[in-house]
Amino acid sequence: MAEYTSKEEILGHIAKSGHNLDFLNEISSDFNDWMLVVCYYASYHIALALILTKGYFSKNHDATLCVLIRHFYTKGISKDEIELLNRFDMQDILFYVQSKQEREKASYSTRIKFNQKDVDDVRLKTILFINKVKSMILDEM
């Protein structure tokens, strides 16, 4: 993971996240395993945009999670970061982890169908997570 900051790259990850959400709306519920995969990657791209605001770039899912935890859920932080944390909390971190776990099940298991209620729940949480993080980023730009 290298330190890196680029407004264009941040906006690119926001756009990619939105693009994934658009694709999510096109997927038939017959392919709800892929819905979970797309939900995760939409969340992953918005997370990449968020860590870029702290000067980090990652191509590793676990490293991205570590930066999220380090910079967006810690103690002994600045007043500005406290205000940001009031918007980004442990539930957001837990959702990101849950989304990653569901994506891994959908990607690596032999299961084709998942409980549609569970998929719909992940989908809704994905949309809320992306909108929240996108708002946080754009408010800071």
Per domain, the residue ranges of the chain are 2-140
pTM: 0.79
pLDDT digits (tens, 9 = 90+) for 88-109: 667 787 888 888 889 999 999 8
Residue 131 has pLDDT above 80, yes or no: yes
Confidence grade of residue 43 (pLDDT, cut at 50, 70, 90): very high
The topology (CATH level 3) of 2-140 is Four Helix Bundle (Hemerythrin (Met), subunit A) (1.20.120)
Contact between 49 and 13 (Cβ < 8 Å): yes
